[in-house]
Amino acid sequence: MAAVDVNAESLGVPRKQLMESSGNAVARVCRDLADPGSSVAIVAGRGNNGGDALVAARFLKAYDVTVTLLGRPETISTDIARENWEALVASEVDLQTVTDSVTFELGDPDLVVDAMLGTGVTGALREPEATAARAINESSATVLAVDVPSGVDADSGEAAGVAVEADHVVTFHDDKPGLESLDCDVTVEDIGIPAAAELFTGPGDLLTLRRDPQSHKGDHGDVLVVGGGPYTGAPALAAQAALRAGADLARVACPEYVAREVQGYSENLIVSGFDGDHLTTDHVPGLLDVAADRDVVVFGPGLGDHDESLAAVREFLSAYDGTAVVDADALQVVPDVDTEATLICTPHQGELVKMGGETDDDWETRRELVREFAADLGHVLLVKGAYDVVSDGDEDRVNRTGNPGMTVGGTGDVLAGATGALASVLPPLDAAAVAAYANGRAGDAAADEFDGGLVATDLLERLPAALEGYQHE
Ligand SMILES: NC(=O)C1=CN([C@@H]2O[C@H](COP(=O)(O)OP(=O)(O)OC[C@H]3O[C@@H](n4cnc5c(N)ncnc54)[C@H](O)[C@@H]3O)[C@@H](O)[C@H]2O)[C@H](O)CC1
Ligand SMILES: [K+]
């Protein structure tokens, strides 16, 4: 939800606007539950759940409304809730604040609006919330809970202690799984979050990437890139991209003569060369051994399409059961390989067609086609284009970052390497979506500087900033 909020904000729909819609929806349900002139007691907490009800107070002029804030106004925890409180103060609405359980009084209202705590909370209710919840449960008023009854976990429906027993819940945007087990009416209200905030990647997607300060070397990914042959730069780009996207270790397995060059690109890489000038099935047992201890394998950058190399990819994937990003010439093997591995395939549209998939100029049609093909394959697809389409056959994401300058060679290798690093820490669909977003963002930053003259290594340098997370209240 936090990710969707940030994406909505980046589309020009800030959270305060969503709060206005939520508050409006709360007031609408109040009107359904109580006649004009009835007394309505709004019990508001200090977070955004309380903020929703503070908005509702402005929409209930035909009612006898009292608003009780649990806690001192200075401790309201978000700017948008505080602004809505201040608007009520300035409007001389009937307000009271309660800082302890002794002074809490509910009175005898017809309707209670429980807006103490919503989805931002875990654990048992503290005071004065717990006392207020008991008073609400003892009263004969109809109880309307905002988003989730206070004290109930929105995901599980369980309560760690006392919780509000609501007659009705008005929840926003989407059903909350925890509400199903409760004995009350639930209304789901659309609050105007654009569908695009969920479909298109955006800055909110980066929220999933916050690093744990307690983590150790290897926790953020140990990635093996297998490739190189006719193309020598590709595996080096992919491996460096994995490091720039946060992997702790990046290894490259490639033909011996390529290995010398790859090592020349960066001393940060661990490179091992195998004999000959291309991958063959003779190399597969050794690769499987190395791959077994890695988080993710990125298979394909610069590999070439020698029959012996493709046979080796087939043999590797048949025996491998970890996570692999498959790119470039290795992709054509995927449709007829029987594998236990989790694959993220990163074709451009030409490679997609070569795999047996279909494409279309219209991105919405392409989205349908990609979803169907991903379902057939049983793997995640990230199909590159002006709009990248990511699908696991069930859920889809679309990425709009990037620019025409990125058609230069090597940007696909950067994307494959970044996807490998992210797949060590995120589920496959998310890894592909975040990688596409960040790769395009890095490309946009490079284009700001170099226009159409950008090169793939410009993206490498800009990947860390492109992956930087967002602070959100
Ligand atoms: N897009 C959306 O999801 C929207 C949601 N809205 C509403 O926002 C709330 C969630 O708001 P948030 O500020 O994140 O959290 P809460 O209001 O639920 O709670 C924060 C508040 O509670 C205090 N607190 C924490 N734990 C406890 C405890 N155990 N006992 C007592 N108090 C506790 C904490 O200190 C904070 O002050 C969501 O439910 C929706 O109602 C929107 O406004 C619209 C968009
Ligand atoms: K609530």
Ligand index nearest the alpha carbon of residue 13: 1
Per-residue model confidence as pLDDT tens digits over 178-200 = 999 999 999 999 999 999 999 99
Is CATH 3.30.70.20 the right assignment for the domain spanning 203-466?
no
In this predicted structure, what is the pLDDT of residue 213? 64
Predicted TM-score (pTM) of this structure: 0.90
Asked if the model's pLDDT at residue 472 lies above 70, the reply is no
CA geometry: angle 341, 347, 204, nearest 5 deg: 85
Q: Do domains 2-194 and 203-466 have the same CATH topology?
A: no
**CA nearest neighbour of 331 among 308, 297, 356:** 356
pLDDT tens-digit series, residues 354-396: 999 999 999 999 999 999 999 999 999 999 999 999 999 999 9
Burial of residue 188, with CB atoms counted within 10 A of its CB: 0-12 exposed, 13-18 middle, 19 or more buried: middle
Cα(152) to centroid(ligand 1), Å = 12
Q: State the complex-level ipTM.
A: 0.96
Q: 377 — phi, psi (to 5°)?
A: -70, -30
Helical H runs in 112-208?
129-138, 196-199
| CATH of region 2-194, choose from 3.55.10.10, 1.20.1050.10, 3.40.50.10260, 2.40.110.10 | 3.40.50.10260
In short, whether 309's Cβ falls inside 6 Å of ligand 1 is: no
Query: Which ligand is located closest to the Cα atom of residue 101?
Result: 1
Is the pLDDT reported for residue 161 higher than 80?
yes
Say what the pLDDT of residue 473 is: 38
Side-by-side strand order, sheet with 142-146: 95-98, 64-70, 39-44, 111-115, 142-146, 168-172, 185-189
Say if residue 350 carries a ligand binding annotation. Answer: no
User: Residue 153: is its pLDDT beyond 50?
Assistant: yes
Structure-block tokens of residue 129? 């919330």
Asked if 165 and 137 count as a contact pair (C-beta separation under 8 A), the reply is yes
215-230 pLDDT per residue, tens: 776 688 999 999 999 8
Mean pLDDT of 453-466: 96
Pocket test for ligand 1, best of 1, 98, 121, 148 (most atoms within 8 A of CB): 121
Residue 134 has a pLDDT of: 97
- Decide if pLDDT at 397 tops 50: yes
For residue 301, cis peptide bond before it (omega within 30 degrees of 0) = no
Ligand 2 centroid, distance to 138 Cα (angstroms): 17
Q: How long, in residues, is the chain?
A: 473
For 313-356, how does the pLDDT look when each residue is reduced to its tens digit (9 = 90+)?
A: 999 999 999 999 999 999 999 999 999 999 999 999 999 999 99
DSSP-assigned states of every residue in 210-271: PPPTT--TTTT-EEEEE--SS-SHHHHHHHHHHHHTT-SEEEEEEEHHHHHHHHHH-TTSEE
Element at 45 (helix H, strand E): none
Q: What is the pLDDT of residues 417-434, one digit of tens each?
A: 999 999 999 999 999 999
Q: How far is CA 217 from CA 212, 220, 222, 224, 435, in A?
A: 12, 7, 9, 16, 21
Domain boundary assignment for the chain = 2-194, 203-466
Q: Are 439 and 420 in contact (CB under 8 A)?
A: no
Residue ranges of alpha helices (H) inside 248-331 are 256-265, 284-292, 307-319
Among 90, 94, 84, 20, which Cα is nearest to 61's? 94
Q: Which atom of ligand 1 is found nearest the CA of 4?
A: 1
